[in-house]
Chain A
Protein backbone atom coordinates (compact mmCIF):
# COMPACT_ATOMS: atom_id res chain seq x y z
CA UNK A 1 0.00 0.00 0.00
CA UNK A 2 1.21 3.49 -0.82
CA UNK A 3 -0.33 6.77 0.30
CA UNK A 4 0.45 10.34 -0.62
CA UNK A 5 -0.55 12.97 1.89
CA UNK A 6 -3.51 11.48 3.75
CA UNK A 7 -4.85 9.57 0.77
CA UNK A 8 -4.16 5.95 0.09
CA UNK A 9 -3.27 5.72 -3.59
CA UNK A 10 -2.36 2.08 -4.19
CA UNK A 11 -4.04 -0.88 -2.56
CA UNK A 12 -2.99 -4.53 -2.54
CA UNK A 13 -1.09 -4.35 -5.79
CA UNK A 14 0.58 -7.62 -6.87
CA UNK A 15 2.78 -7.38 -9.88
CA UNK A 16 5.77 -9.36 -11.11
CA UNK A 17 8.21 -8.42 -13.85
CA UNK A 18 10.53 -11.31 -14.70
CA UNK A 19 13.89 -10.92 -16.40
CA UNK A 20 13.42 -11.00 -20.15
CA UNK A 21 9.86 -9.74 -19.98
CA UNK A 22 8.04 -6.50 -20.70
CA UNK A 23 4.94 -5.98 -18.59
CA UNK A 24 2.46 -3.30 -19.59
CA UNK A 25 0.72 -1.16 -17.00
CA UNK A 26 -2.30 0.65 -18.35
CA UNK A 27 -5.14 2.45 -16.68
CA UNK A 28 -6.99 5.62 -15.92
CA UNK A 29 -5.39 9.00 -15.66
CA UNK A 30 -4.66 9.42 -11.95
CA UNK A 31 -5.07 5.71 -11.14
CA UNK A 32 -1.59 5.47 -9.61
CA UNK A 33 0.68 4.17 -12.38
CA UNK A 34 3.36 6.78 -11.83
CA UNK A 35 2.98 6.41 -8.06
CA UNK A 36 3.64 2.68 -8.41
CA UNK A 37 6.74 3.27 -10.53
CA UNK A 38 8.05 5.90 -8.10
CA UNK A 39 7.51 3.47 -5.22
CA UNK A 40 9.69 0.88 -6.94
CA UNK A 41 12.43 3.49 -7.12
CA UNK A 42 12.05 4.31 -3.45
CA UNK A 43 10.71 7.80 -4.19
CA UNK A 44 7.39 7.05 -2.48
CA UNK A 45 7.26 5.11 0.79
CA UNK A 46 5.58 1.72 0.64
CA UNK A 47 3.61 1.41 3.86
CA UNK A 48 2.41 -2.18 3.64
CA UNK A 49 3.75 -4.96 1.48
CA UNK A 50 7.07 -5.44 -0.23
CA UNK A 51 8.69 -4.64 -3.56
CA UNK A 52 11.69 -6.79 -4.40
CA UNK A 53 13.90 -5.54 -7.18
CA UNK A 54 16.89 -7.70 -8.10
CA UNK A 55 16.70 -9.35 -4.66
CA UNK A 56 16.41 -6.13 -2.64
CA UNK A 57 13.19 -5.16 -0.87
CA UNK A 58 12.83 -1.48 -1.70
CA UNK A 59 10.09 -1.14 0.94
CA UNK A 60 12.66 -1.86 3.65
CA UNK A 61 15.32 0.62 2.50
CA UNK A 62 15.90 3.88 4.38
CA UNK A 63 18.43 6.68 4.37
CA UNK A 64 21.87 5.69 3.18
CA UNK A 65 20.86 2.21 2.02
CA UNK A 66 18.17 3.77 -0.12
CA UNK A 67 20.55 6.35 -1.58
CA UNK A 68 23.06 3.65 -2.40
CA UNK A 69 20.40 1.49 -4.00
CA UNK A 70 19.38 4.41 -6.18
CA UNK A 71 22.91 5.37 -7.08
CA UNK A 72 23.74 1.84 -8.21
CA UNK A 73 21.05 2.29 -10.84
CA UNK A 74 19.57 -1.23 -10.76
CA UNK A 75 16.21 0.40 -11.37
CA UNK A 76 15.97 3.23 -13.83
CA UNK A 77 13.07 5.50 -14.58
CA UNK A 78 12.16 7.13 -17.85
CA UNK A 79 9.78 9.90 -16.82
CA UNK A 80 6.53 10.89 -18.48
CA UNK A 81 7.87 14.44 -18.65
CA UNK A 82 11.44 14.30 -20.00
CA UNK A 83 12.22 17.65 -18.38
CA UNK A 84 12.26 15.79 -15.07
CA UNK A 85 15.23 13.61 -15.97
CA UNK A 86 17.26 16.25 -17.80
CA UNK A 87 18.68 19.19 -15.86
CA UNK A 88 17.33 22.31 -17.61
CA UNK A 89 20.59 24.22 -16.96
CA UNK A 90 22.93 21.55 -18.28
CA UNK A 91 23.66 20.56 -21.87
CA UNK A 92 21.79 17.36 -22.75
CA UNK A 93 25.03 15.39 -23.02
CA UNK A 94 26.02 16.19 -19.44
CA UNK A 95 22.71 14.86 -18.10
CA UNK A 96 22.99 11.73 -20.23
CA UNK A 97 26.55 11.03 -19.08
CA UNK A 98 26.06 12.02 -15.44
CA UNK A 99 26.34 8.50 -14.03
CA UNK A 100 29.58 7.89 -15.90
CA UNK A 101 30.99 11.23 -14.89
CA UNK A 102 30.21 10.53 -11.22
CA UNK A 103 32.09 7.24 -11.47
CA UNK A 104 35.05 8.90 -13.18
CA UNK A 105 34.67 6.74 -16.31
CA UNK A 106 37.05 7.30 -19.25
CA UNK A 107 35.94 9.01 -22.47
CA UNK A 108 32.54 10.13 -21.18
CA UNK A 109 31.97 12.32 -24.26
CA UNK A 110 32.54 9.42 -26.64
CA UNK A 111 30.23 7.14 -24.67
CA UNK A 112 27.55 9.83 -24.53
CA UNK A 113 27.77 10.22 -28.30
CA UNK A 114 27.28 6.46 -28.67
CA UNK A 115 24.35 6.45 -26.26
CA UNK A 116 22.68 9.25 -28.23
CA UNK A 117 23.18 7.51 -31.56
CA UNK A 118 21.69 4.38 -30.04
CA UNK A 119 18.39 6.16 -29.42
CA UNK A 120 18.47 7.76 -32.84
CA UNK A 121 19.80 11.22 -31.92
CA UNK A 122 22.48 13.29 -33.58
CA UNK A 123 25.52 13.30 -31.22
CA UNK A 124 25.80 17.09 -31.78
CA UNK A 125 22.69 17.44 -29.65
CA UNK A 126 24.87 16.74 -26.58
CA UNK A 127 25.93 20.38 -26.52
CA UNK A 128 22.40 21.85 -26.49
CA UNK A 129 20.21 22.66 -23.51
CA UNK A 130 16.99 20.64 -23.03
CA UNK A 131 14.98 23.77 -23.92
CA UNK A 132 16.74 23.94 -27.28
CA UNK A 133 15.63 20.54 -28.51
CA UNK A 134 12.15 19.32 -29.31
CA UNK A 135 10.03 17.31 -26.89
CA UNK A 136 10.68 14.15 -28.83
CA UNK A 137 14.41 14.68 -28.83
CA UNK A 138 14.34 15.30 -25.09
CA UNK A 139 12.53 12.06 -24.42
CA UNK A 140 15.04 10.06 -26.42
CA UNK A 141 17.88 11.68 -24.48
CA UNK A 142 16.12 10.70 -21.25
CA UNK A 143 15.99 7.09 -22.42
CA UNK A 144 19.68 7.19 -23.31
CA UNK A 145 20.40 8.48 -19.79
CA UNK A 146 18.41 5.68 -18.16
CA UNK A 147 20.20 2.94 -20.06
CA UNK A 148 23.79 3.76 -19.24
CA UNK A 149 23.83 2.11 -15.79
CA UNK A 150 22.82 -1.28 -17.26
CA UNK A 151 19.71 -1.47 -15.07
CA UNK A 152 17.94 -4.74 -14.15
CA UNK A 153 14.54 -3.09 -14.25
CA UNK A 154 13.56 -0.25 -16.52
CA UNK A 155 10.45 1.70 -15.56
CA UNK A 156 9.21 3.39 -18.70
CA UNK A 157 6.50 5.94 -17.92
CA UNK A 158 5.00 7.02 -21.24
CA UNK A 159 8.39 6.70 -22.90
CA UNK A 160 7.13 7.16 -26.45
CA UNK A 161 4.19 9.48 -26.07
CA UNK A 162 6.23 12.50 -27.21
CA UNK A 163 7.66 10.74 -30.26
CA UNK A 164 6.44 10.75 -33.84
CA UNK A 165 5.38 7.42 -35.28
CA UNK A 166 8.71 6.61 -36.90
CA UNK A 167 10.91 7.49 -33.93
CA UNK A 168 8.40 5.73 -31.72
CA UNK A 169 8.91 2.59 -33.77
CA UNK A 170 12.67 2.95 -33.39
CA UNK A 171 12.41 3.33 -29.61
CA UNK A 172 9.91 0.47 -29.26
CA UNK A 173 12.18 -1.75 -31.34
CA UNK A 174 15.03 -0.68 -29.06
CA UNK A 175 13.02 -1.62 -25.94
CA UNK A 176 12.22 -4.97 -27.55
CA UNK A 177 15.95 -5.49 -28.26
CA UNK A 178 16.74 -4.64 -24.64
CA UNK A 179 14.17 -7.08 -23.33
CA UNK A 180 16.68 -9.92 -22.96
CA UNK A 181 18.98 -7.79 -20.79
CA UNK A 182 16.50 -5.78 -18.73
CA UNK A 183 13.01 -6.50 -17.42
CA UNK A 184 10.68 -3.61 -18.17
CA UNK A 185 7.53 -2.10 -16.79
CA UNK A 186 5.98 -0.22 -19.67
CA UNK A 187 3.41 2.38 -18.63
CA UNK A 188 1.45 3.95 -21.45
CA UNK A 189 -1.87 5.31 -22.58
CA UNK A 190 -0.96 4.35 -26.12
CA UNK A 191 -2.52 0.92 -26.32
CA UNK A 192 -1.01 0.35 -29.75
CA UNK A 193 2.51 0.59 -28.31
CA UNK A 194 1.50 -1.52 -25.31
CA UNK A 195 0.01 -4.19 -27.56
CA UNK A 196 3.14 -4.13 -29.70
CA UNK A 197 5.85 -4.57 -27.05
CA UNK A 198 4.43 -6.23 -23.95
CA UNK A 199 4.17 -9.88 -22.97
CA UNK A 200 1.60 -9.29 -20.26
CA UNK A 201 -0.63 -6.40 -19.27
CA UNK A 202 -1.94 -5.27 -15.88
CA UNK A 203 -4.83 -2.81 -15.73
CA UNK A 204 -4.85 -0.33 -12.86
CA UNK A 205 -8.13 1.29 -11.93
CA UNK A 206 -8.55 3.44 -8.83
CA UNK A 207 -5.35 2.14 -7.32
CA UNK A 208 -6.15 -1.56 -7.79
CA UNK A 209 -5.15 -4.03 -10.44
CA UNK A 210 -8.50 -5.06 -11.88
CA UNK A 211 -7.25 -7.31 -14.65
CA UNK A 212 -4.00 -9.00 -15.57
CA UNK A 213 -3.07 -11.46 -18.28
CA UNK A 214 -1.27 -12.12 -21.54
CA UNK A 215 -1.40 -9.11 -23.88
CA UNK A 216 -3.54 -10.66 -26.60
CA UNK A 217 -6.07 -11.80 -24.02
CA UNK A 218 -6.40 -8.46 -22.20
CA UNK A 219 -6.73 -6.46 -25.43
CA UNK A 220 -8.70 -9.06 -27.35
CA UNK A 221 -11.03 -10.32 -24.61
CA UNK A 222 -11.19 -7.68 -21.88
CA UNK A 223 -13.02 -8.94 -18.78
CA UNK A 224 -13.39 -5.90 -16.53
CA UNK A 225 -15.73 -3.11 -17.75
CA UNK A 226 -12.97 -0.53 -17.36
CA UNK A 227 -10.60 -2.54 -19.55
CA UNK A 228 -13.39 -2.96 -22.05
CA UNK A 229 -13.97 0.79 -22.09
CA UNK A 230 -10.25 1.48 -22.37
CA UNK A 231 -9.72 -0.86 -25.30
CA UNK A 232 -12.90 0.32 -27.00
CA UNK A 233 -11.97 4.01 -26.67
CA UNK A 234 -8.67 3.68 -28.52
CA UNK A 235 -9.01 5.49 -31.84
CA UNK A 236 -8.02 3.68 -35.00
CA UNK A 237 -7.02 4.88 -38.46
CA UNK A 238 -10.20 3.40 -39.87
CA UNK A 239 -12.29 5.21 -37.24
CA UNK A 240 -13.96 2.07 -35.86
CA UNK A 241 -13.80 2.82 -32.13
CA UNK A 242 -16.67 2.46 -29.69
CA UNK A 243 -19.57 4.90 -30.01
CA UNK A 244 -20.14 7.68 -27.51
CA UNK A 245 -23.28 5.94 -26.39
CA UNK A 246 -21.58 2.58 -25.76
CA UNK A 247 -18.79 4.29 -23.87
CA UNK A 248 -21.30 6.06 -21.63
CA UNK A 249 -23.07 2.76 -21.00
CA UNK A 250 -19.83 1.05 -19.94
CA UNK A 251 -18.89 3.98 -17.72
CA UNK A 252 -22.20 3.65 -15.96
CA UNK A 253 -21.25 0.06 -15.02
CA UNK A 254 -18.07 1.19 -13.26
Chain B
Protein backbone atom coordinates (compact mmCIF):
# COMPACT_ATOMS: atom_id res chain seq x y z
CA UNK B 1 0.00 0.00 0.00
CA UNK B 2 1.39 3.38 -1.01
CA UNK B 3 1.51 6.21 1.51
CA UNK B 4 -0.33 8.57 -0.81
CA UNK B 5 -2.49 7.67 -3.78
CA UNK B 6 -4.28 10.43 -5.61
CA UNK B 7 -6.61 9.22 -8.34
CA UNK B 8 -8.39 11.36 -10.89
CA UNK B 9 -8.14 14.54 -8.87
CA UNK B 10 -10.14 17.39 -10.26
CA UNK B 11 -10.76 20.81 -8.71
CA UNK B 12 -13.61 22.99 -9.94
CA UNK B 13 -14.77 26.54 -9.74
CA UNK B 14 -17.33 27.18 -12.50
CA UNK B 15 -14.74 25.57 -14.77
CA UNK B 16 -12.21 22.84 -13.98
CA UNK B 17 -8.93 24.24 -12.63
CA UNK B 18 -7.31 20.81 -12.15
CA UNK B 19 -8.30 17.64 -14.03
CA UNK B 20 -7.39 13.98 -14.03
CA UNK B 21 -4.33 14.24 -11.79
CA UNK B 22 -2.91 10.92 -10.53
CA UNK B 23 -0.07 10.84 -8.01
CA UNK B 24 1.52 7.97 -6.13
CA UNK B 25 4.05 8.31 -3.37
CA UNK B 26 5.65 5.54 -1.33
CA UNK B 27 6.74 5.88 2.29
CA UNK B 28 10.02 7.81 2.31
CA UNK B 29 9.61 8.65 -1.38
CA UNK B 30 10.17 12.01 -3.02
CA UNK B 31 7.96 13.45 -5.69
CA UNK B 32 8.74 16.70 -7.46
CA UNK B 33 5.95 18.76 -9.01
CA UNK B 34 7.03 21.32 -11.59
CA UNK B 35 5.11 23.24 -14.21
CA UNK B 36 3.63 26.44 -15.43
CA UNK B 37 2.47 29.22 -13.11
CA UNK B 38 -1.25 28.69 -12.61
CA UNK B 39 -1.11 25.06 -13.72
CA UNK B 40 -2.69 23.81 -10.50
CA UNK B 41 0.30 22.70 -8.43
CA UNK B 42 -0.78 24.56 -5.30
CA UNK B 43 -4.43 23.52 -5.71
CA UNK B 44 -3.26 19.90 -5.95
CA UNK B 45 -1.31 20.31 -2.69
CA UNK B 46 -4.23 22.01 -1.01
CA UNK B 47 -6.56 19.22 -2.06
CA UNK B 48 -4.32 16.64 -0.41
CA UNK B 49 -4.31 18.78 2.73
CA UNK B 50 -8.05 19.36 2.62
CA UNK B 51 -7.60 23.13 2.62
CA UNK B 52 -9.07 24.24 -0.68
CA UNK B 53 -10.60 27.71 -0.63
CA UNK B 54 -14.33 27.37 0.18
CA UNK B 55 -15.48 28.37 -3.32
CA UNK B 56 -13.59 25.43 -4.85
CA UNK B 57 -14.44 21.73 -4.64
CA UNK B 58 -12.98 18.45 -5.78
CA UNK B 59 -14.84 16.30 -8.35
CA UNK B 60 -17.04 13.37 -7.36
CA UNK B 61 -14.64 10.88 -9.00
CA UNK B 62 -11.63 12.13 -7.02
CA UNK B 63 -9.98 9.74 -4.60
CA UNK B 64 -7.19 10.74 -2.20
CA UNK B 65 -5.99 7.81 -0.10
CA UNK B 66 -3.44 8.42 2.62
CA UNK B 67 -2.04 5.33 4.31
CA UNK B 68 -5.08 3.39 3.09
CA UNK B 69 -7.67 5.89 4.34
CA UNK B 70 -9.87 7.86 1.95
CA UNK B 71 -9.49 11.55 2.81
CA UNK B 72 -12.02 13.06 0.41
CA UNK B 73 -15.33 13.64 2.12
CA UNK B 74 -13.87 13.80 5.63
CA UNK B 75 -15.28 16.59 7.75
CA UNK B 76 -13.12 18.94 9.80
CA UNK B 77 -12.96 16.53 12.75
CA UNK B 78 -12.08 13.63 10.45
CA UNK B 79 -9.19 15.60 9.00
CA UNK B 80 -7.72 16.51 12.34
CA UNK B 81 -5.53 13.42 12.88
CA UNK B 82 -4.08 13.78 9.38
CA UNK B 83 -3.40 17.41 8.65
CA UNK B 84 -0.40 18.77 10.60
CA UNK B 85 0.14 15.56 12.59
CA UNK B 86 0.73 13.17 9.72
CA UNK B 87 0.77 15.48 6.71
CA UNK B 88 2.76 18.65 7.24
CA UNK B 89 2.95 21.55 4.84
CA UNK B 90 5.02 24.59 4.04
CA UNK B 91 3.95 27.14 1.44
CA UNK B 92 5.26 30.14 -0.41
CA UNK B 93 4.35 33.54 1.23
CA UNK B 94 5.52 32.50 4.73
CA UNK B 95 4.26 35.79 6.19
CA UNK B 96 0.62 34.88 5.73
CA UNK B 97 0.90 31.69 7.81
CA UNK B 98 2.33 33.23 10.97
CA UNK B 99 0.36 35.07 13.63
CA UNK B 100 1.76 38.62 13.46
CA UNK B 101 1.03 39.34 17.13
CA UNK B 102 2.74 36.31 18.67
CA UNK B 103 6.45 35.61 19.22
CA UNK B 104 7.51 32.88 16.78
CA UNK B 105 8.92 30.61 19.47
CA UNK B 106 5.56 30.61 21.22
CA UNK B 107 3.79 29.76 17.98
CA UNK B 108 5.88 26.61 17.66
CA UNK B 109 5.62 25.79 21.39
CA UNK B 110 1.81 26.09 21.15
CA UNK B 111 1.73 23.46 18.42
CA UNK B 112 3.92 21.16 20.51
CA UNK B 113 1.78 21.70 23.57
CA UNK B 114 -1.68 21.50 22.03
CA UNK B 115 -1.06 18.91 19.32
CA UNK B 116 1.91 17.08 20.79
CA UNK B 117 0.75 17.05 24.40
CA UNK B 118 4.07 18.36 25.73
CA UNK B 119 4.19 20.33 28.96
CA UNK B 120 4.89 24.05 28.82
CA UNK B 121 8.56 23.75 29.68
CA UNK B 122 9.24 20.70 27.47
CA UNK B 123 7.52 22.46 24.57
CA UNK B 124 9.71 25.51 25.03
CA UNK B 125 12.90 23.46 25.11
CA UNK B 126 11.87 21.39 22.11
CA UNK B 127 11.01 24.59 20.22
CA UNK B 128 14.57 25.83 20.78
CA UNK B 129 15.99 22.52 19.53
CA UNK B 130 13.85 22.63 16.42
CA UNK B 131 14.89 26.22 15.72
CA UNK B 132 18.52 25.14 15.92
CA UNK B 133 17.80 22.22 13.56
CA UNK B 134 16.54 24.57 10.87
CA UNK B 135 19.48 26.90 11.42
CA UNK B 136 17.77 29.65 13.41
CA UNK B 137 19.60 31.33 16.25
CA UNK B 138 18.15 30.54 19.69
CA UNK B 139 17.29 34.22 20.27
CA UNK B 140 14.90 34.10 17.30
CA UNK B 141 12.27 32.43 19.52
CA UNK B 142 11.56 35.80 21.14
CA UNK B 143 11.07 37.69 17.90
CA UNK B 144 7.85 38.62 16.15
CA UNK B 145 7.29 37.61 12.51
CA UNK B 146 7.68 41.20 11.22
CA UNK B 147 11.18 41.34 12.70
CA UNK B 148 12.29 38.39 10.58
CA UNK B 149 13.28 38.34 6.94
CA UNK B 150 11.22 36.22 4.54
CA UNK B 151 13.79 33.46 4.68
CA UNK B 152 13.84 33.40 8.46
CA UNK B 153 10.03 33.25 8.57
CA UNK B 154 10.12 30.29 6.20
CA UNK B 155 12.53 28.45 8.49
CA UNK B 156 10.14 29.02 11.38
CA UNK B 157 7.34 27.46 9.31
CA UNK B 158 9.51 24.50 8.39
CA UNK B 159 10.31 23.96 12.06
CA UNK B 160 6.56 24.04 12.84
CA UNK B 161 5.76 21.67 9.97
CA UNK B 162 8.31 19.02 10.93
CA UNK B 163 7.72 19.39 14.69
CA UNK B 164 5.01 16.71 14.69
CA UNK B 165 7.27 14.32 12.74
CA UNK B 166 4.73 13.84 9.96
CA UNK B 167 4.85 10.94 7.46
CA UNK B 168 4.41 13.31 4.57
CA UNK B 169 5.63 16.84 4.09
CA UNK B 170 4.22 18.96 1.31
CA UNK B 171 6.63 21.76 0.46
CA UNK B 172 5.12 24.22 -2.00
CA UNK B 173 7.95 26.57 -3.06
CA UNK B 174 9.19 26.26 0.50
CA UNK B 175 12.81 27.15 -0.19
CA UNK B 176 12.17 29.86 -2.76
CA UNK B 177 12.59 32.67 -0.23
CA UNK B 178 15.82 31.24 1.18
CA UNK B 179 19.33 32.04 0.09
CA UNK B 180 20.97 29.04 -1.54
CA UNK B 181 23.23 28.33 1.42
CA UNK B 182 20.21 28.08 3.72
CA UNK B 183 18.28 26.24 1.03
CA UNK B 184 21.06 23.66 0.92
CA UNK B 185 20.82 23.31 4.72
CA UNK B 186 17.05 22.93 4.64
CA UNK B 187 17.34 20.31 1.90
CA UNK B 188 19.93 18.50 4.06
CA UNK B 189 17.48 18.70 6.96
CA UNK B 190 14.72 17.17 4.85
CA UNK B 191 17.12 14.43 3.72
CA UNK B 192 17.96 13.69 7.36
CA UNK B 193 14.27 13.52 8.29
CA UNK B 194 13.72 11.10 5.41
CA UNK B 195 16.55 8.94 6.64
CA UNK B 196 15.61 9.05 10.32
CA UNK B 197 11.81 8.97 10.12
CA UNK B 198 11.04 7.78 6.60
CA UNK B 199 9.47 11.16 5.82
CA UNK B 200 7.96 11.28 2.33
CA UNK B 201 8.12 14.52 0.44
CA UNK B 202 6.05 16.29 -2.20
CA UNK B 203 8.20 19.17 -3.39
CA UNK B 204 6.71 21.85 -5.61
CA UNK B 205 9.35 24.08 -7.12
CA UNK B 206 10.03 26.27 -10.08
CA UNK B 207 13.69 25.51 -9.65
CA UNK B 208 14.32 22.40 -11.72
CA UNK B 209 17.76 22.08 -10.16
CA UNK B 210 16.29 21.78 -6.65
CA UNK B 211 13.91 19.10 -7.89
CA UNK B 212 16.78 17.30 -9.64
CA UNK B 213 18.75 17.31 -6.41
CA UNK B 214 15.99 16.11 -4.09
CA UNK B 215 13.41 14.09 -6.01
CA UNK B 216 13.34 10.58 -7.41
CA UNK B 217 10.09 11.02 -9.33
CA UNK B 218 8.78 14.10 -11.12
CA UNK B 219 5.45 15.17 -12.58
CA UNK B 220 5.11 18.12 -14.91
CA UNK B 221 1.85 20.09 -14.85
CA UNK B 222 0.30 22.41 -17.38
CA UNK B 223 -3.23 23.79 -17.66
CA UNK B 224 -4.41 21.76 -14.68
CA UNK B 225 -3.14 18.42 -15.99
CA UNK B 226 -0.07 16.23 -15.68
CA UNK B 227 1.66 16.31 -19.06
CA UNK B 228 4.71 14.22 -18.25
CA UNK B 229 5.90 11.96 -15.45
CA UNK B 230 8.87 9.73 -14.76
CA UNK B 231 12.10 9.55 -12.84
CA UNK B 232 13.82 12.89 -12.28
CA UNK B 233 16.70 11.80 -14.51
CA UNK B 234 14.34 10.91 -17.39
CA UNK B 235 12.12 13.95 -17.15
CA UNK B 236 14.77 16.59 -16.50
CA UNK B 237 17.56 15.26 -18.70
CA UNK B 238 15.61 13.68 -21.55
CA UNK B 239 12.24 15.46 -21.53
CA UNK B 240 9.69 14.23 -24.06
CA UNK B 241 6.74 16.58 -23.87
CA UNK B 242 7.35 19.85 -25.76
CA UNK B 243 6.35 21.85 -22.67
CA UNK B 244 8.88 20.05 -20.47
CA UNK B 245 11.48 20.58 -23.16
CA UNK B 246 10.77 24.32 -23.10
CA UNK B 247 11.11 24.34 -19.28
CA UNK B 248 14.47 22.62 -19.41
CA UNK B 249 15.63 24.96 -22.19
CA UNK B 250 14.52 27.98 -20.13
CA UNK B 251 16.49 26.66 -17.20
CA UNK B 252 19.58 26.37 -19.38
CA UNK B 253 19.14 29.95 -20.62
CA UNK B 254 19.23 31.40 -17.10
CA UNK B 255 20.97 28.62 -15.21
CA UNK B 256 24.11 29.14 -13.22
CA UNK B 257 25.77 26.11 -14.83
CA UNK B 258 27.52 27.83 -17.68
CA UNK B 259 29.15 30.45 -15.45
CA UNK B 260 30.10 27.88 -12.82
CA UNK B 261 31.55 25.37 -15.21
CA UNK B 262 34.18 27.96 -16.04
CA UNK B 263 35.13 27.96 -12.37
CA UNK B 264 35.05 24.20 -11.86
CA UNK B 265 37.61 23.44 -14.60
User: Which residues of A pack against B, CB within 8 Å?
Assistant: 4-5, 26-31, 34, 80-81, 83, 131, 133-137, 140, 158, 161-169, 172, 189-193, 195-197, 215-216, 219-221, 226, 229-231, 233-242, 244, 247, 251
Contacts and interface: CB of A to CB of B under 8 A. Distances in A.
A137 B191 CA distance: 31
13 contacts: A26-B179, A29-B179, A140-B37, A158-B177, A162-B37, A163-B37, A165-B206, A195-B256, A219-B256, A233-B180, A235-B207, A237-B236, A237-B251
Contact of A244 (B182, B183, B188): B188
Contacts of B35: 164
A28 B208 contact: no
A144 B107 CA distance: 36
A229 B183 CA distance: 12
A178 B8 CA distance: 44
A81 B257 CA distance: 27
A226 B180 CA distance: 11
A242 to B, nearest CB: 8
A9 B42 CA distance: 35
B263 to A, nearest CB: 5
B114 interface: no
A136 B38 CA distance: 7
A226 B181 CA distance: 9
Most buried by A among B207, B247, B251: B207
Given A137-B38, A234-B209, A235-B207, A195 B173 contact: no
B227 to A, nearest CB: 13
A83 B180 contact: no
A197 to B, nearest CB: 8
B92 A191 contact: no
Most buried by B among A34, A166, A190: A166
Nearest to A193: B254
Contact of B213 (A131, A239, A247, A251): A239
B180 A191 contact: yes
B5 to A, nearest CB: 26
Contact of A166 (B36, B181, B255): B36
B250 interface: yes
B24 interface: no
B150 A81 contact: yes
A236 B260 contact: yes
A68 to B, nearest CB: 27
| 9 pairs of A and B residues whose beta carbons are closest in the complex | A136-B37, A29-B151, A196-B254, A235-B209, A165-B250, A30-B149, A134-B38, A233-B184, A169-B250
Most buried by A among B35, B95, B256: B256
B93 A81 contact: yes
Contacts of A30: 148-149, 151-152
Contacts of A233: 180-181, 183-184
Contact of B255 (A81, A231, A236, A239): A236
Contacts of B263: 219-221, 231
Contact of B260 (A4, A80, A164, A231): A231
A34 B181 CA distance: 18
B262 interface: yes
A235 B180 contact: yes
Contacts of B213: 235, 239, 241
Most buried by A among B34, B148, B250: B250
Contacts of A241: 184, 213
Contacts of A161: 173, 176-177, 206
B206 A168 contact: yes
A234 B256 contact: yes
A29 B184 contact: no
A137 B207 contact: no
Interface in B214-260: 236-237, 246-248, 250-251, 253-260
A27 B152 CA distance: 13
Contacts of A4: 147
A30 B155 CA distance: 12
B178 interface: yes
